């Protein structure tokens, strides 16, 4: 019995010794791991808050030069890319049909004018006859009926002359129209610009019965207009006069600057929605409004239909205190944010106020100093959030 108790005491003592040895090993060789935090320093940097949009470039002035008369395009005086001046001859349409119309109109005018001359001579004859009848009726040498007949002939001839005067005016209009149509066979540049498209080729027949046929397109590329599509969520923050800049795919490092001159009052699908038969129909299509601004293009680097990545600047600050927005906690009623600052290895709560915020960095107005390290994450907590440590859960069977 004594031997049995002795064995139990020895076993308990051995177990306590093993526990004590394990504690000493863990204490001296495997000290507790201090929590590690991901931090980002508060630094000085330039910060900008902007509304982003995409748009297309268009010439500030663009004209489709068309033909108002039918016929064969006899000659084209310019080529694609040529610079032209206002009044320059661009093309000629075969004028034979228009010349014939002018001759016909002029012949019609001459015919009516000849008829009027004949009526004028006849009127003078009738007026003389009327005068004789008036003299004869005064001496009772002629019946009253002859006087009345002479008066009727004079009045009738005057009315015919008035009708012929109207026909002459109409014929003059026809002559003017024929002259204008003959002039339309010579296509003249309506503005200074550059030929950016040739639609109709030399020798092609033009038929302008219903609408003017486009021969070529002129554009003034010295100034370009950008139509930036601004989403309905951002358009309330945008107003004319704000600084705008954009880049193009061919020169991503070059900024083109301008000022927003206006925002179109209706969205770019307004015309389609007004023709809809159902006013209660809803749509999931995104709504955009066109913001307009102009930029000089003296070297003609910018071309029509280029895509522009536009930034409409809402505010900017040079060498301001900034922090990563991922460090921001919740905002209180006063607009202040909760952040944690790592100080002497321990997190410390702060209340700060920020200004500009571009969703990457925020401008610090108060609450932090340059060099402060704000906590943006705790990897040990993230790794152990599922209870399996950094290695994650064990693989399934």
The CATH number of the domain holding residue 55 is 2.40.30.170
CA distance 302 to 55: 13
Place of tokens 């004590």: 20
Domain end residue (candidates: 130, 158, 184): 184
Query: Do 244 and 356 fall within a single domain?
Result: yes
Quick check: pTM over 0.85?
no
Q: Has residue 397 been placed in a domain? A: no
Number of separate helices (H) and strands (E) present in the chain: 5, 18
Query: Do 176 and 300 fall within a single domain?
Result: no
CA distance 297 to 221: 7
CA distance 358 to 322: 11
In terms of Cα–Cα distance, which of 379, 327, 395 is closest to 357? 327
Domain end residue (candidates: 184, 207, 240): 184
CA distance 230 to 257: 17
Query: Do 225 and 122 fall within a single domain?
Result: no
Query: Do 324 and 368 fall within a single domain?
Result: yes
Query: Do 228 and 359 fall within a single domain?
Result: yes
CA distance 87 to 183: 13
**Ordered DSSP codes for 50-67:** EEEEEEEEEEEEEEEEEE
Query: Do 316 and 225 fall within a single domain?
Result: yes
Query: Do 177 and 240 fall within a single domain?
Result: no
Spell out a b/e string for 92-124, using b for 16 or more CB atoms within 10 Å of the CB, else e.
Answer: bbbbebbeebbeebeebbeebeebbeebeeebe
Provide the residue count of the chain. Answer: 397
Query: Do 232 and 347 fall within a single domain?
Result: yes
Query: Do 102 and 244 fall within a single domain?
Result: no
pLDDT per residue as tens digits for the range 104-140: 999 999 999 999 999 999 989 888 888 888 888 777 7
Query: Do 53 and 158 fall within a single domain?
Result: no
DSSP tag of 395: P
Domain end residue (candidates: 184, 199, 228): 184
Q: Residue 193 has what pLDDT?
A: 92
- Kindly report the CA angle at 38 between 35 and 41, in degrees rounded to 5? 130
Strands of the sheet containing 186-188, edge to edge, are 186-188, 89-93, 71-76, 205-206
Q: Residue 394 has what pLDDT?
A: 42
Q: Has residue 389 been placed in a domain? A: no
CA distance 55 to 309: 7
CA distance 168 to 174: 10
In terms of Cα–Cα distance, which of 182, 178, 179, 186 is closest to 73? 186
CA distance 334 to 355: 13
pLDDT per residue as tens digits for the range 298-355: 999 999 999 999 999 999 899 999 999 988 888 888 889 999 998 888 888 889 999 9
* Alpha carbon separation from 15 to 1, 21, 23, 29, 267 (Å, rounded): 22, 10, 12, 21, 82
Q: Residue 68 has what pLDDT?
A: 87
| Cβ–Cβ under 8 Å, residues 39 and 361 | no
Identify any residues that bridge with 374 across adjacent strands, giving them in sequence order.
40, 341
Q: Has residue 189 been placed in a domain? A: no
Number of domains in the chain: 2
CA distance 397 to 393: 12
Enter the tokens of residue 56: 């297309």
Query: Do 107 and 157 fall within a single domain?
Result: yes
Q: Has residue 15 been placed in a domain? A: no
Q: Has residue 328 been placed in a domain? A: yes
Enter the tokens of residue 219: 């554009």
CA distance 185 to 205: 13
DSSP tag of 331: B
Query: Do 226 and 339 fall within a single domain?
Result: yes
Q: Residue 309 has what pLDDT?
A: 94
Q: Tens-digit pLDDT profile for the chain (397 aa)?
A: 555 666 666 666 666 666 766 666 665 655 555 667 888 899 999 999 999 999 999 999 999 998 888 889 999 999 999 999 999 999 999 999 999 999 999 999 999 999 999 999 998 988 888 888 888 877 776 787 877 888 898 899 999 999 999 999 999 999 999 999 999 999 999 999 999 999 999 989 888 765 678 899 999 999 999 999 999 999 999 999 999 999 999 888 899 999 999 998 887 665 555 444 444 445 567 889 999 999 999 999 999 999 999 999 999 899 999 999 988 888 888 889 999 998 888 888 889 999 998 888 999 999 898 989 998 876 555 444 444 444 444 444 3
Enter the tokens of residue 350: 């702060």
- Kindly report the CA angle at 317 between 313 and 322, in degrees rounded to 5? 115
Q: Has residue 206 been placed in a domain? A: no
Q: Has residue 231 been placed in a domain? A: yes
By CB atoms closer than 10 A (0-12, 13-18, 19+), residue 22 is exposed
Helix (H) or strand (E) holding 228: strand 213-231
- Phi first, then psi, for residue 340 (nearest 5°) are -115, 135
Domain that holds residue 178: 96-184
Alpha-carbon Rg of the chain, whole angstroms?
46
| Cβ–Cβ under 8 Å, residues 341 and 1 | no
Q: Has residue 16 been placed in a domain? A: no
């Amino acid at each position: 019995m004594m031997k049995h108790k002795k064995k139990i005491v020895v076993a308990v003592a051995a177990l306590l010794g093993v526990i004590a040895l394990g504690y000493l090993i863990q204490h001296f060789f495997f000290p507790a791991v201090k929590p590690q935090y991901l931090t980002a320093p508060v630094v000085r940097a330039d910060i900008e808050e902007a509304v982003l949009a995409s748009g297309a470039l268009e010439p500030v002035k663009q004209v489709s030069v068309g033909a108002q008369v039918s016929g064969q395009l006899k000659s084209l005086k310019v080529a694609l890319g040529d610079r032209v001046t206002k009044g320059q001859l661009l093309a000629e349409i075969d004028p034979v049909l228009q010349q014939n119309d002018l001759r016909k109109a002029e012949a019609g005018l001459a015919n009516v004018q000849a008829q009027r001359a004949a009526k004028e001579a006849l009127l003078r004859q009738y007026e003389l006859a009327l005068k004789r009848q008036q003299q004869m009726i005064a001496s009772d040498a002629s019946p009253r009926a002859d006087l009345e007949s002479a008066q009727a002939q004079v009045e009738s001839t005057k009315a015919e002359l008035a009708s012929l005067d109207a026909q002459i005016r109409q014929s003059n209009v026809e002559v003017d129209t024929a002259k204008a149509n003959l002039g339309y066979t010579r296509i003249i540049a309506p503005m200074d610009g550059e030929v950016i498209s040739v639609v109709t080729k030399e020798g092609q027949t033009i038929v302008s019965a219903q609408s003017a046929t486009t021969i070529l397109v002129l554009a003034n590329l010295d100034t370009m207009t950008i139509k930036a599509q601004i989403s309905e969520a951002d358009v309330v923050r945008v107003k004319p006069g704000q600084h705008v800049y954009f880049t193009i795919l061919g020169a991503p490092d070059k900024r083109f600057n301008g000022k927003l001159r206006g925002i179109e009052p209706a969205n770019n699908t307004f015309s389609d929605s007004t023709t809809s038969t159902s006013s209660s129909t809803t749509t999931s299509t995104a709504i955009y409004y066109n913001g307009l601004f102009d930029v000089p293009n003296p070297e003609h680097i910018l071309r029509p239909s280029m895509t522009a990545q536009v930034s409409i600047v809402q505010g900017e600050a040079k060498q301001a205190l900034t922090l990563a927005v991922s460090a921001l906690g919740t905002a209180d009623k006063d607009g202040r944010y909760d952040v944690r600052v790592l100080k002497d290895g321990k997190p410390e709560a702060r209340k700060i106020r920020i200004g500009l915020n571009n969703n990457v960095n925020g401008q610090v107005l108060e609450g932090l100093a340059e060099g402060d390290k704000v906590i943006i994450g705790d990897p040990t907590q993230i790794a152990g959030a599922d209870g399996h440590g950094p290695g994650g859960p064990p693989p399934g069977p």
